Structure 1
Amino acid sequence: MTKLNWGLIGGGEGSQIGPAHRLGASVDGLFQLAAGALDADAEKGRVYARSLGIAEDRAYGDWQEMLAAEKTRSDKVDLVTIATPNATHFEITKSFLEGGFHVLCEKPMTMTIEEGEEIVKISRRTGKKCAVNFGYSGFSLVRQMREMIAAGELGEVRLVKAEFAHGFHADAADADNPRVRWRYDPAAAGVSAVLADAGIHALHMACFVTGQEVSTVSADFASTIASRDLEDDAMINFRMDGGAVGRLWTSAVAVGRMHGLSLQVFGEKGGLSWQQEHPNQLHYTPLNGRTQIIERGAADLYNAAQKASRVTIGHSEGMPLAFANIYCDLAEMIHADKAAGSSDGAAFLFPSSEDGLRSMASVYAAVKSAHASGAWQDAVPALLK
C-alpha cells in the first residue's frame, strides 16, 4: 500500500502531544511526515521540521503558508493533523477542509457549538473528513467493549460510569505557571476547563462503546483553587438516547491519581470495566457469574479489537499505538476515497466531526446546568436533532 503524505500543524519541539502523533502516524508505515508548520515561532518551526526529515521547501513558517503551498502541489498532503492551542482549531480546520484536505483535529474540535456546526456542514459539503482525536477510542480493548455491547453480550445497557480524574493541577502555588494558567482562563480555554480538556474523552468513550449519545445533562462544577475562573473538578449526570443512565467524574485536583481514565458499563446481563492505566485487561462479569479477565491480543477477540492490537499478548501497548489505530482508520478511509471503493467497517471507527460537535454541545449544556444549580439541560446540538 502506497504511503500517504501527512502534514502536521503544531506539535513542535517540547510539545506534549506532538510526539504521540508522530509515533502514531508512522508506526504502521502508512504515512510519511511530508510537511509541517510546527511552531508559533516560524524559524524555530522550520528548523525543527528539517530535523525531522521534512524537506526545506515543505518546512513552513505558519499554517497559512502551508495551506497555500500544499494546494498547488501534485504530491500534496493527504491528511493534516492540527495540534495547536484550542482557540485556533476552528479557523485552521475550516481552512484546510475548504482547501480540499482531510483533517485530524485535536480536541476540542471548536470553542463553540456554532463553530462545530459549521465544521460539520463544511465536511459534509466538501466530502472531506474531519476526524477528532478522541484517541483513547483506539485502544484494542475499548473496541472489544464496543463489539461485545453491540453483539448483545451485556443485554440492554443500564448504567455507564466514566472517570477522567488526575491531580496534576492541585498545587495552588502552580497557579501562575503558564502551562497550567491558560487552562483556567476563559479567553484561552473557552467556557470550561477540566471537562473540556479531560472529561470529554471519557464522555466520548461512553458514547463510543455503548452506541448511544448523550441527550441531557445535570452538572456540578467546582473551582477548588480560588484564583481559577473555570472549574478544576466536575461531576456530570447524563442520560443517553438509548435509555442508559451515566455518571462522569472529572478532576485536575485529585492528588495521587495519575491519568485516571476509566470506564464501566453495566447491562441487564453483565458488566464491563476498563482502565487506561491497565489497558491490557478488560474485566467482564456475566450476571450471576464470576469475573473474567479478557486479555488484549487473545485469539478470540472481535475483529475490531484484533485489528487494533500489534504487540503479542502479555506485552503492554500504550497511548501512541491507540493513536496509531486512529491513523490506521483514516488511512483506510483515504485509500478507499481515492479508489472510490469501500473498506472494512472497522476503518470508520475514528471519531468524526459530529462527535466533536456533540462533545462541545455536552460541555455547553453542563456549563449551563452548573450555573443553574444542576438543572437538567438538553445536550443535543440543533444540527443533529
Structure 2
Amino acid sequence: MKKLNWGMIGGGQGSQIGPAHRLGSGLDGAFSFVAGALDHNADAGRAYAQTLGIAPDRAYGDWREMLAGESAREDRVDLVTVATPNATHYEITKAFLKAGFHVLCEKPMTMTVAEGEDIVRTAAASGKICAVNYGYTGYSLVRHMRAMVARGDLGKVRLVVAEFAHGHHGNAADADNPRVRWRYDPAQAGVSAQFTDCGIHALHMASFVTGQEVEKLSADFASCIESRVLEDDAMVNFRMNGGAVGRLWTSSVAIGRQHGLTIQVFGETGGLRWAQEQPNQLYWTPLGGRVQIIERGEANLSPEADRSSRVTVGHAEGMPLAFANIYSDLAEMISATKEGRAADPAASLCPMAVDGLRSMAAVHGAVVSAKGQGEWVDARPPMFRD
C-alpha cells in the first residue's frame, strides 16, 4: 500500500485531541503528515506545524488557506482531519468534501440536524468518504463485542446500558474558567453540553455494538451547578429499531469518576460488560454460567478483534491505538478506491457521516424531550423517517 498524504485542521499545541490523532494516523505507516492549519492564531499554527516536520509551504495560517493550497497541488492530501471547535465542523467539512477531499471530522459532526443531513448528501454527491471520530469504537474488544452480538452469542438483545460520566467539571468555583465555561454556553456549544460532549459517544457505542439504531428517546437534563445554562448531567432512556431497550447516563459532575465510558449488553442467552478505563478485559456471562474474562490479544477471538489488536496479550491498550484502527480503516478504504479494488470488509467498521447525523438528531430530540418533562420523541433524522 502506497503511503497516503494526511493533513490536519486544528489540534495544535496544547490541544487535548491533536496528539492522539497524530499518533493514531502514524502508527501503521499508512499516512504521511504533510499539511496542517493547526491553530486559530495563524503565526502560531505555522510555527508549530513546522516543528512537527511540515514543510513551510504546507504550514497554513487557516483552513481556507489550506483548502486553496492543497487544491492546487498534484500531491494534495488524501485525507483531512477536522479537529477544530464544534461550531466550525460543518463549514470546514463541507468545503473540503466539495473540493474532492476525504474527511475525518471530530464529533459532533455538526451543530444542527439540517447541517448533518446536508453533510450526508454532500458526501454522497462528492463520492468522498466523510468519517466521524467516534474513536472508542476502534478498541479491539469493542469490535469483538459487536462480532459476538452479530453472530448470535447473546441471542436477541434485550437491554443495553451505556455510561460516560466524569467529575472534571464538578467544582462550582471553577465554573468561570474559560476552558470549562464555553462548554455550557449555548452560543459556543449549541443546544446541549454534556450529552453532546460525552453522551453521544456512549449512544453511538450502543448502536455500534448492537447493530441497532435509536428510534425514540426520553430525556432528563439537569444543571447541577446552577449557573450553567446547559446541562452537566443527563439521563436518557431509548428504544432501538431491533427491539432493544436502552439506558444512558452521562455527567460531568460525578466527582471521583475519571473517564467513565462503559457499556453493558444483555441478551436472551448472555451478557457483556466493557469499560474504557480497563480496555483489555471484556466480561462475558453466558446464561446459567459463570463470569468469563476475555483478554484482548488472546487466541480464538473474532477476525474483527484480531485485526484491531496492536500489542501482545497482557500489555496495555490505549486511546491512540483505538484511533489508529479508525485511521487504518480509512487508509484501507481510500487506498482501495485509488487502486480500483474492493476494500477489506472489516474496514467498514469506521463510523461515517450518517452516524454523526443520527447523533445530532438524538441530541436535538433529547433537548426537546427534556424541555417536555421527559416526553418520548422521535430520535431519527427526518431523512430517515418513513
1:116 and 2:120 correspond: no
Indicate the SS of the match to 2:144.
helix
Match of 1:143 in 2: 143
Match of 1:182 in 2: 182
Match of 2:379 in 1: 379
Indicate the SS of the match to 1:93.
helix
Q: Alpha-carbon deviation of 1:344? A: 1.5
- CA RMSD after TM alignment: 0.5
Match of 1:195 in 2: 195
Indicate the SS of the match to 1:109.
coil
1:158 and 2:158 correspond: yes
Match of 2:95 in 1: 95
Runs of 4 or more, structure 1, over 6 Å off, are: none
Match of 1:16 in 2: 16
Measure the CA separation in 1 of the matches of 2:289 and 2:206: 24
Match of 1:169 in 2: 169
Figure out how many residues of one structure are paired with residues of the other and give that number: 385
Greater alpha carbon shift after TM alignment, 297-306 vs 247-256: 297-306
1:125 and 2:125 correspond: yes
Match of 2:322 in 1: 322
1:208 and 2:208 correspond: yes
Measure the CA separation in 1 of the matches of 2:124 and 2:341: 18
Indicate the SS of the match to 2:195.
helix
Match of 2:348 in 1: 348
Match of 1:5 in 2: 5
| AA at the equivalent of 1:368 | V
Match of 2:70 in 1: 70
| AA at the equivalent of 2:316 | S
Measure the CA separation in 2 of the matches of 1:363 and 1:288: 38
Gaps of 5+ in 2: none
Indicate the SS of the match to 1:25.
helix
Measure the CA separation in 2 of the matches of 1:133 and 1:384: 22
Measure the CA separation in 1 of the matches of 2:31 and 2:179: 30
Q: Alpha-carbon deviation of 1:134? A: 0.3
Q: Could you give the per-residue CA deviations for residues 138-172 of structure 1, whole angstroms, max 9, x where no partner exists?
A: 00000000000000000000000000000000000
Q: Alpha-carbon deviation of 1:340? A: 2.0
Q: Alpha-carbon deviation of 1:382? A: 1.2
Match of 2:256 in 1: 256
Q: Could you give the per-residue CA deviations for residues 313-338 of structure 1, whole angstroms, max 9, x where no partner exists?
A: 00011000000000000000000111
Measure the CA separation in 2 of the matches of 1:106 and 1:240: 25
Measure the CA separation in 1 of the matches of 2:63 and 2:299: 44
Measure the CA separation in 1 of the matches of 2:42 and 2:202: 35
Indicate the SS of the match to 1:91.
helix
Match of 2:268 in 1: 268
Match of 2:80 in 1: 80
Q: Alpha-carbon deviation of 1:343? A: 1.9
Q: Alpha-carbon deviation of 1:384? A: 2.0
Between the aligned residues of both structures, percent identity stands at 70
Q: Alpha-carbon deviation of 1:383? A: 1.3
Measure the CA separation in 2 of the matches of 1:19 and 1:231: 28
| AA at the equivalent of 1:300 | N
Match of 2:289 in 1: 289
Measure the CA separation in 2 of the matches of 1:340 and 1:362: 36
| AA at the equivalent of 1:172 | A
Q: Alpha-carbon deviation of 1:299? A: 1.3
Match of 1:335 in 2: 335
1:236 and 2:221 correspond: no
Measure the CA separation in 2 of the matches of 1:348 and 1:75: 26
Q: Alpha-carbon deviation of 1:209? A: 0.5
Measure the CA separation in 2 of the matches of 1:377 and 1:306: 39
Measure the CA separation in 1 of the matches of 2:298 and 2:344: 21
Indicate the SS of the match to 1:331.
helix
Q: Alpha-carbon deviation of 1:88? A: 0.2
Match of 2:227 in 1: 227
| AA at the equivalent of 1:144 | H
Indicate the SS of the match to 1:311.
coil
Measure the CA separation in 1 of the matches of 2:343 and 2:90: 29
Indicate the SS of the match to 2:310.
coil
Measure the CA separation in 2 of the matches of 1:183 and 1:3: 37
Measure the CA separation in 2 of the matches of 1:348 and 1:331: 11
Q: Alpha-carbon deviation of 1:288? A: 0.5
TM-score, normalised relative to structure 1 = 1.00
Q: Alpha-carbon deviation of 1:341? A: 1.3
Indicate the SS of the match to 1:209.
helix
Q: Alpha-carbon deviation of 1:2? A: 1.2
Indicate the SS of the match to 1:16.
coil
TM-score, normalised relative to structure 2 = 0.99
